[in-house]
Amino acid sequence: MSSPAESALETIRNVLLETFTANDAMNQLLIEHLDPRAWRARPPALDGRGGRTIGAIFAHLHACRLNWLRRSAPHLERPAPVDPRRCTRAQAAAALQRSARQCGVMLADALSSGPDRRVTHFSRDSWMPVWPAGGSMFCYMFAHEAHHRGQVLLLAHQLGYRIPPGNAAGIWQWDKLWKQQGFAARPR
């Protein structure tokens, strides 16, 4: 029988894993409701430089996940990358689903306390400090993707392809996202 502290830690671990799954559901929701014309529309130039298209932003999320997997969980299989200049919405959505699944496996191991744990560090990239695997790893991954979801919403609006408010608000309807993912409990 586990102690109350062990039980609380297991609940926190499960909630974080559910949250990362819901995180990808938020990305999928935006891709699904995005006007197809916005996918490759050129963003407004900033200081003479162009920025990423919405398609390239979602390809970037997938590429970052692949990098995290490669650097922090090299024993896990990584899905194929997508070309940020050529991938379609369907290709990006499918790739993100696959990389989210593998990142979930990585996080499950990183957040475990078992003796056979293999993910013990989180390496974001070669020029960044390596962290111990754990809660900060999850927080960084979630914050990174939330940042880019905000970029997508803003860019779609600036380009004149605003995601309908009722659909965009879906990223904040966590009870519904949890239910759609088949979780037994609601956010907690």
User: Is 185 domain-assigned?
Assistant: no
User: Is 187 domain-assigned?
Assistant: no
User: Is 186 domain-assigned?
Assistant: no
User: Is 1 domain-assigned?
Assistant: no
pLDDT digits (tens, 9 = 90+) for 18-44: 999 999 999 999 999 999 999 999 988
Parent domain of 76: 7-180
**Across 10-24, average pLDDT:** 95
Return the closest-CA partner of residue 24 out of 91, 99, 119. 99
Domain count across the chain: 1
pLDDT the model gives residue 47? 62
User: Is 19 domain-assigned?
Assistant: yes
Rounded distance between C-alpha atoms, residue 178 and residue 111, angstroms: 20
User: Is 2 domain-assigned?
Assistant: no
Inform me whether the pLDDT recorded for 107 exceeds 90.
yes
Inform me whether the pLDDT recorded for 49 exceeds 80.
no
The domain spanning residue 77 has which CATH number? 1.20.120.450
Do the Cβ atoms of 64 and 83 come closer than 8 Å? no
Which pTM was predicted?
0.94
User: Is 170 domain-assigned?
Assistant: yes
* N-terminal to C-terminal alpha carbon distance within the chain: 23
User: Is 103 domain-assigned?
Assistant: yes
Count the alpha carbons within 13 Å of 1 in the hemisphere toward its beta carbon: 2
Residue recorded with tokens 């297991």: 10
pLDDT digits (tens, 9 = 90+) for 128-172: 999 999 999 999 999 999 999 999 999 999 999 999 988 999 999
pLDDT digits (tens, 9 = 90+) for 54-106: 999 999 999 999 999 999 999 999 999 999 999 999 999 999 999 999 999 99
